Chains A and B, each alone.
Chain A
Amino acid sequence: MKYSILVNEGPYTHQASDTAYQFTKAALEKGHEIFRVFFYHDGVNNATRLAVPPQDDRNITQRWSELGAQHNLDMVVCIAAAQRRGLLDEDEAKRQGKDANNIAPGFRISGLGQLIEAGIQADRLVLFGD
């Protein structure tokens, strides 16, 4: 089956980002296809590469990046939600005149149309949020 995953909660908030990760991992291990993982609202904070969680804690962003690399996942961050929260890739940093970018490997910034398409193309859109 083809899935799209929507993550609306930031990392280390409650548990939504962790549940989304565990669900995505289980679905992939069962042989399902993940069409896209879309990060929206505070969920965009899952994509910052500047977070440094304690070493004995899980690194949520790195975990997503690794799963994404392993399975060639399309991990999309909502541009409007990202701009509000200070999450930029190289192009956006340049466009907005900022001196740095902070997006982690495997994530890309794009628009809400990507969420609509994810809902249309997938058999199931599964939401994890706050």
Chain B
Amino acid sequence: MAKLHTVNKSPFERDALEACLRLAKKGSAVLLIEDGIYGAMSGTAISDKVKQAMSDVSFYVLGPDVAARGMKEDKIIDGFKIVDYNGFVDLTTEYDGVHAWL
């Protein structure tokens, strides 16, 4: 039962990403969308926690939402895969279900 978790709030606004990382099972995936993309940036207060989780969980970030916020892709933590909306749809087919952390 590997799930796709979506997080749409900034980790500096809510603890959705931290709760998700705490509970996501090995083999599942996390997709950061909307303001959630700030969790994919390197050199932040939460980036070490994200990097640690990478051994068990695959990380994705929605490229259009990164661009919409004027964030540079080279600031994204190594190991993140950047997807567009088509890639988002594909991820929902590859995993057994989708859980939205709001």
Contact = CB atoms under 8 A, between A and B. Distances in A.
A26 B85 contact: yes
Contacts of A32: 89
Given A124-B98, A128-B100, A16 B89 contact: no
Q: What class of interface size applies to chain B in its complex with A?
A: 10 to 19
B86 A16 contact: no
Interface string A1-28: 1010000100000111001001101110
A69 interface: no
Decide if the interface of chain B is mainly helix, strand, loop or mixed: helix
Given A14-B34, A128-B100, A19 B8 contact: yes
Interface of B: 8, 33-35, 64-65, 84-86, 88-90, 92-93, 97-98, 100, 102
25 contacts: A3-B92, A8-B102, A14-B34, A15-B8, A15-B35, A15-B65, A16-B8, A16-B34, A22-B64, A23-B85, A23-B88, A25-B85, A26-B84, A26-B86, A26-B89, A29-B86, A30-B89, A30-B90, A124-B92, A124-B93, A124-B97, A124-B98, A126-B92, A127-B100, A130-B102
